[in-house]
Amino acid sequence: MSEPAPEILAAFEAAKGFMPVGEGLALYAAATEAAKLGLPLLEVGTYCGRSTILLADAARQAGTVAVTVDHHRGSEEQQPGWEYHDETVVDPEVGLMDTLPTFRRTLRKAGLEEYVIAVVGRSPQVAKVWGGQLGLVFVDGGHTDEHATNDYEGWAPKVAPGGLLVIHDVFPDPADGGQAPYRIYLRALESGDFDEVSVTDSLRVLRRR
């Protein structure tokens, strides 16, 4: 299994975000494998760029690019009064979350800016105008059924044959977390288009047939 260089792993661990190291290593392994297809690696849900570091480094080594899609206003659970709210990423002028500046600093510190295309917009709108195939799609956006379903329907069809669909925060037991990512994971398996490659805690890696 491919592992990131120590400086990349250190940058990942230093970045603001929620992904544990074990899941990050599994994502990196998937990204390095998928990058061999020579196609872009795309993630839905950027936040402050913690997982983007891993995708960008895999893309850099393969001579491709990472694309990350986010409106940078935060998902439901990151809004004021919710569990994952962080006041340090609120724009004081407009009073709304804005994770884009933090994300850009994260990539700058990691030396990976030139390997990332940051798309600022809502996932369904971006998916509609994205025409090409992708080597990897990493779904880690909003966790409501509406958002997870939109991410799956918008991006899963764009995974190239042999490419990987990676879904984060998959919890079969409702006591462990929200069920929307689990439901799209089941939908991907039931579609007949994907085979499961690996399970690492809440991270699922599927390959398009």
Tokens (6 digits) for 178: 């929200």
Residue 85 falls in the annotated catalytic set? no
What 3-state DSSP class applies to 18? coil
What are the backbone dihedrals phi and psi of residue 107, each rounded to the nearest 5 degrees, phi first? -65, -40
Cα–Cα separations (whole angstroms), residue 66 to 33, 56, 77, 111: 14, 5, 26, 14
Q: Please count the other Cβ atoms lying within 10 Å of the Cβ belonging to residue 67.
A: 21
Q: Which of 71, 72, 85, 143 is catalytic?
A: 143
**Cα atoms in the Cβ-side hemisphere of radius 13 Å centred on 160:** 17
Q: What does DSSP assign to residue 79?
A: S
Write the DSSP string, 99-137: -HHHHHHHHHHHT-GGGEEEEES-HHHHHHH--S-EEEE
Do residues 151 and 144 lie in contact, with contact meaning Cβ atoms separated by under 8 Å?
Answer: no
Tokens (6 digits) for 176: 């462990």
What are the backbone dihedrals phi and psi of residue 127, each rounded to the nearest 5 degrees, phi first? -60, -35
Active site residues: 143
